[in-house]
Amino acid sequence: MPGGWCNALRLLHPACRGFGVGILLSLFLSTAFAAECIVPSKPGGGFDQTCKLAQKGLGGDALRLSYLPGGIGAVAWSSIVSQRRAEPDTLVAFSGGSLLNVVLGKFGRSTGADVRWVAAVGTDYGMIAVRADSPYKSLRELVAAMQRDPAAVTIGAGGTIGSQDWIKVALVAKQAGVDPKKLRFVAFEGGGESFTALLAGHVQVVSGDVSEASLHAVSDRIRVLAVLSDARLPGALAQVPTAREQGYDVTWPIIRGLYMGPQVPDADYRRWVAAFDRMMADKSFDQLRAAHGLYPFAMTGKLLTDYVARTEENYHRQAAELGLVR
């Protein structure tokens, strides 16, 4: 029997020649039976962190990561709702920004009811950052520069006009009397690319997430001007003031989690919900979540599905206030 497997594998891929049977079987089993966590962006951003957190929390070999960037999650969403609707072991990372994109119609004619929401594993918060050598030392100084000339400051963001990164800055600008549509944004495919552009000097500001910023803040290469949370956050950014402290009443919590295709059998869906319930009930998960730059938030199954529906309603209201939807 092992010889048969070995011969089959060698025939499937010539590169297998020369490997022992044990190694071949190990490679085959790990790729054939490990569940997949799709990161709907390039490596380095919040989606990547979400899948890596789930991978570690569930036990290392339970998930293999794959990357499917495009449209800040739109390509992965389309793949799941149109071609991979019933795959029982395929999960996709999402964030609050994904829900906003659904509301804005950037994922096509979809609603949150078009997928199955499995688990929210933590919450993130928006933030606004510059390079460590930037002349802007506070959010007030940055906003003052926008008031003088909205187009003079180049802002890197994940997504185009209407994305959550755009809305974060737009809400601050609007409170300061600046027309958000006059701001100069550069769109990137996720937070990883935005920070790369910032460090290279291609943009002056990044509107992104705390989990992404924490990866760079420890190296003292960036300066976070404000976190968009109700209160200051523990950890690497504990000394960073909130936007509210600096006179701008803007908060932006971002749940992070995973969804599945709409036709995944109930038994498989419940199996994954139960797996995440067990994972997040383990006390050690709190430390693991913190290590990935996220803050406590745990919700699965129907509770999460209802939460998503309410969040979509809230995002629609905010988008309407900025003239993005009717």
Helix or strand holding residue 30 (H, E): helix 21-33
Task: Give the whole-angstrom CA distance, residue 274 versus residue 270.
Answer: 6
Query: What values do phi and psi take at 173, rounded to 5?
Result: -60, -45
Q: What dotted CATH number matches 2-124+254-321?
A: 3.40.190.150
Counts of helices then strands in the chain (DSSP H, E): 12, 10
Distance of CA 226 to the CA centre of its chain: 19
pLDDT tens digits for range 169-219 = 999 999 999 999 899 999 987 778 889 999 999 999 999 988 888 777 767
Residue 170 confidence (pLDDT): 93
Angle, CA of 167, 172 and 174, to the nearest 5°: 90
pLDDT score at 219: 73
Alpha helices in 84-200, H assignment, sequence order: 96-103, 139-148, 164-175, 191-199
pLDDT, residue 277, reads 98
Instruction: Say which CATH superfamily domain 125-253 falls into.
Output: Periplasmic binding protein-like II (3.40.190.10)
Taking only the tens place, the pLDDT of each residue in 75-90 is: 999 999 999 999 999 9
Cα-to-chain-centroid distance, residue 200: 22
- Whether 2-124+254-321 shares its CATH topology with 125-253 is answered yes
Which pLDDT score, from 0 to 100, does residue 46 have? 84
* Domain regions of the chain by residue span: 2-124+254-321, 125-253
**Contact present, 322 and 122 (Cβ < 8 Å):** no
Ranges of residues in the chain with a pLDDT under 70 are 1-33, 218
Closest CA to 88 of 33, 143, 160: 33
3-class SS string, 247-309: CCCCCCEEEEEEEECCCCCHHHHHHHHHHHHHHHHCCHHHHHHHHCCCECCCEEHHHHHHHHH
Q: Which pTM does this prediction carry?
A: 0.75
Place of tokens 């789930």: 54
What per-residue confidence (pLDDT) applies to 193? 87
pLDDT attached to residue 295: 92
Residues 232/242, Cβ–Cβ less than 8 Å: yes
